[in-house]
Chain A
Amino acid sequence: MTIKAAEGAAPLATRQRRRRMPPELSIFLVLVGIALIYEVLGWMFIGQSFLVNSQRLTIMILQVSVIGIIAVGVTQVIITGGIDLSSGSVVGMTAMIATSFAQSSTWGRAVFPSLTDLPAFVPIIVGLLIGGGAGLLNGALIAYTKIPPFIATLGMFVSARGVAKWYTKGQPVSGVTEQFHFIGTKAWPVVVFLVVALIFHIALRYTRYGKFTYAIGANPQAARVSGINIEAHLVKVYVIAGLLAGLAGIVTAARAETAQASMGVGYELDAIAATVIGGTSLTGGVGRITGTVIGTIILGVMTSGFTFLRVDAYYQEIVKGAIIIAAVIIDVYRQKKRTKH
């Protein structure tokens, strides 16, 4: 159908490709600021550079890669207006179960003695299935029983950890194959993190999946009336978050060459912190993967910097909490500025 252009209609300004300052800029400046503070303190007290040390930088990002992988999923969940508390427990559960399929025959106490020396893709697929399954359960509960995401994923938080402990009655699973261990060596976890981040950055910005994710977070009723199947979409988002938590579990176990039921404790909160520091709004509809990547790196820089300055680990946690709060205050202020009236 055609609607005639009204005469004298005000022409829109020429197409502006560049939409104003990218919202990540302010958080990126925070990252640079924190790094520079360490740099200065480093020269003052330790007598060496914080930044000009490629080994330190690699270790720094390596330490937070697993958090980053989880945070990419958590970001998507939070954009829909939800929350995922279960990711840390899902890391533990998938680490245990996946590793039990990655054991070498040279190890005497394999969980499945008849299933040893399997190629690495088997534990990877098992891990992804377990993680995705947990996400499916989370998503289905939230979408179809309408219980709040906080409660649904709190349940999974408790139960998945339970599964991790029950699986071997608390015993660690060790003796992994070289092939499986390889995933966790060198900077591979960083590569996995960045590839995952890139994929979902593209998915959120350029695909229908992304547009619908933002729409649901911005206004679920309006999204529904606009024809979006909210229930099905939410399940997708939580499955993706579960898959990524599963992937994080695999990487963690591969890196450690062993799996323990306590793996991933507290990771869900670090991932939420990275997401929120990165500018994703807990009220939904706002957030970007690029911000989350920067948020993750900020967490890494903070930890690494404290270690570098030989600050007591207890202080680290205290300051980490303060920085999370500060990030959210900045975010609230920024949101206000974008709303004129």
Chain B
Amino acid sequence: MAVSPTTMAAVRASGAVPNAEYLLSAEGVRKEFPGVVALDDVQFRLKRGSVHALMGENGAGKSTLMKILAGIYTPDKGEVRLKGVEVQLKSPLDALESGIAMIHQELNLMPFMTVAENIWIRREPKNRFGFVDHGVMYRMTDELFTRLNIEIDPDIEVRYLSVANRQMVEIAKAVSYNSDVLIMDEPTSALTEREVEHLFRIIRDLRAQGIGIVYITHKMNELFEIADEFSVFRDGRYIGTHASTDVTRDDIIRMMVGREITQMFPKEEVPIGEVVLSVKDLCLKGVFDNVSFEVRAGEILGVAGLVGSGRSNVAETLFGVTPASSGSIELNGKAVTISSPTVAIRNQMAFLTEDRKDTGCLLVLDILENMQIAVLQDRYVKGGFVQQGAIEATCEDMARKLRVKTPNLYERIQNLSGGNQQKVLIGRWLLTNPRILILDEPTRGIDVGAKAEIHRLVTEMARNGVAVVMISSEMPEVLGMSDRIMVMHEGRVTGFLNRDEATQIKVMELAAQ
């Protein structure tokens, strides 16, 4: 018999907590969406005081499971047990009051309210006139932060905080509900290495206090560093659960994709041609200074550096999104002024941006419209009219070549998984026949299988004589794909490494200085 969240809350308040083998468990869970079975007969068991990672390609069902555990979706079949008691979570608030808190990838804080107000919202301490007692609220926040070793002023408005600090506030908020279970969705995706360390310290503390943590990540090394156990999902099915000490990285990848990935980085030696792009002393006031480099036809220039080193800003300036304040750009030996993306595209440049949602996808439009938008600048248009038949045929070919998983081109792009969205965006740029391709985090947040396919595409572009500039935070990707690596630190280029001399340590030395 299922227990309502109110009963659960009452049980929790009484202190008579049932002692069960698992803190949180789900058995035989099934969830269908129109036309797709997202989860089928899935199980999940979280132990007290452990960090349990959910692994799987995008579309494997891990985020659906997580949303069921957090009360955002209700399962069609199966049961969820909290400390051995079956619960029915009808809303995120239900889950929160039962002791399950979720920290979203897109942080859900109110930017114009203070840190303390954000944490205690809906539960503000009141003074005897019934007004919010800010003094008490400040002290409560301060105590909470001390316990978690967080150094943030409770009175500051959230909009002034860095992404990392906002994440800390989210965690503190979750902890303030005395949650037994914390669900974290890709918490490190926007953090620098030092911030990640801090986060991991906090996670370890919480684990020591008996809290169970459900952790979703695409980063293998994090898995080995922080997780005790992990469960793998594939195509909506449960594959298995293992202790992270029992397996190797290759084992996990095999479980996730169900096939051996023989070559993660299909790097080929291709003939390197003439200098295509030459940048001298490029500056953007207050952001980066005197950036100079050259890229040749067929060459892949990797750009490494920590978050905030100005890598993405250089890419944006090259493409005219934020025109340079000084310096020169030469294309094929000719000086050009790139004042807008329109000019950049006219000069056969292409730019896959870092943030798919913010600057890439036209979310409410379909795949066709997303793919064709850049090429329509100067082709497939006659007298203002789009040559519908021709562009559709071309886009269909492209979608097939890129292996975009979709029944047809009229599906909204927001219904695709991250990896498929990224392929559509790459298709958008391939259609323009670029000679210079700038990629900013081309494989961020996408699954292993799609990653390998994108790497294959980039290699193929290079073979066709395209000059590639690839920004990436993933060291193996930078080392595996690049002919040369440019390293940046705080808005300056700190060095170049050739493929044969580059190692993880050398790159880090230049990046962290």
A→B interface (CB under 8 Å): 1-6, 9-13, 15-16, 19-20, 206-209, 211-212, 214-215, 218-219, 221-229, 281, 283-286, 337-341
Contacts and interface: CB of A to CB of B under 8 A. Distances in A.
A11 B415 contact: no
Interface stretch (B75-83, B168-176, B457-465): B457-465
Contacts of A283: 364
Given A215-B362, A223-B373, A340-B415, 10 more contacts: A5-B400, A6-B401, A9-B401, A10-B400, A211-B386, A212-B373, A218-B363, A219-B358, A227-B345, A341-B33
B385 interface: yes
B125 interface: no
A207 to B, nearest CB: 5
Interface string B137-155: 0000000000000000000
Contacts of A339: 412, 414-415
A224 B359 CA distance: 9
Interface string B404-416: 0111111010110
Nearest to B417: A341
B510 interface: no
A239 to B, nearest CB: 16
Nearest to B63: A341
A219 B464 contact: no
Nearest to B457: A3
B351 interface: yes
26 contacts: A2-B464, A3-B461, A5-B400, A10-B400, A12-B407, A12-B408, A13-B408, A16-B408, A206-B386, A207-B384, A208-B384, A214-B369, A221-B359, A222-B361, A224-B321, A225-B341, A226-B341, A226-B374, A226-B428, A227-B346, A227-B374, A229-B342, A284-B364, A286-B364, A338-B415, A340-B34
A12 B376 contact: no
A211 B372 contact: yes
B189 to A, nearest CB: 18
Contacts of B400: 5, 9-12
B472 interface: no
B399 interface: yes
Contacts of A11: 400
A228 B342 contact: yes
Interface of B: 33-36, 64, 319, 321, 340-342, 344-346, 351, 353, 358-365, 369, 372-374, 376-377, 381, 384-386, 388, 392, 396, 399-403, 405-410, 412, 414-415, 428, 430, 433, 453, 456-457, 460-461, 464-466
Contacts of A10: 400, 403, 405
Given A19-B410, A206-B386, A341 B401 contact: no
Q: Which of A206, A211, A284 has the most CB of B within 10 A?
A: A211
A76 B96 CA distance: 43
A340 B433 CA distance: 33
Contacts of A1: 430, 433, 461, 464-466
B108 to A, nearest CB: 17
B126 to A, nearest CB: 35
Interface residues of chain A: helix, strand, loop or mixed (majority): loop
Contacts of B342: 227-229
A340 B36 contact: yes
Nearest to A218: B362
A28 B204 CA distance: 59
B258 to A, nearest CB: 15
Residue among A12, A16, A214, A281 with max Cβ neighbours from chain B (10 Å): A12
B359 A208 contact: no
A211 B359 CA distance: 17
A228 B373 CA distance: 9
Given A9-B403, A339-B412, A225 B362 contact: no
B35 to A, nearest CB: 8
Given A9-B403, A10-B403, A16 B384 contact: no
Contact of A215 (B319, B373, B402): B373
A136 to B, nearest CB: 20
A5 B341 CA distance: 30
Q: Which 6 A-B pairs have the closest CB atoms?
A: A218-B362, A227-B345, A285-B364, A226-B374, A19-B410, A221-B359
B384 A229 contact: no
A229 B376 CA distance: 13
Contacts of A6: 401, 403, 453, 456
A340 B413 CA distance: 11
A214 to B, nearest CB: 6
Contacts of A285: 362-365
Given A12-B407, A340-B34, A3 B401 contact: yes
B60 to A, nearest CB: 13
Given A211-B372, A214-B365, A225-B319, A340 B386 contact: no
A163 to B, nearest CB: 33
A219 B369 contact: no
B452 to A, nearest CB: 11
Nearest to A2: B464
A1 B372 CA distance: 17
A219 B403 contact: no
B38 to A, nearest CB: 8
Given A11-B400, A340-B34, A206 B388 contact: yes
Contacts of B402: 3
Given A206-B386, A222-B359, A227-B377, A215 B369 contact: yes
A11 to B, nearest CB: 6
Nearest to B340: A229
Contacts of A281: 364
Most-contacted residue by chain B among A1, A207, A224 (CB, 10 A): A1
B321 A225 contact: yes
Given A11-B400, A13-B407, A340-B36, A218 B364 contact: yes
A225 B369 CA distance: 15
B386 A208 contact: yes
A223 B362 contact: yes
B415 A225 contact: no
A219 B410 contact: no
Nearest to A203: B384
A225 B401 contact: no
Nearest to B404: A12
Contacts of B457: 3
B341 A224 contact: yes
B103 to A, nearest CB: 19
B381 to A, nearest CB: 5
A20 B402 CA distance: 25
Nearest to A229: B342
A259 to B, nearest CB: 35
B451 to A, nearest CB: 15
Most buried by A among B33, B359, B433, B466: B359
Nearest to B319: A225
Nearest to A1: B464
B358 to A, nearest CB: 6
B59 to A, nearest CB: 10
A9 B388 CA distance: 24
Contacts of B364: 218, 281, 283-286
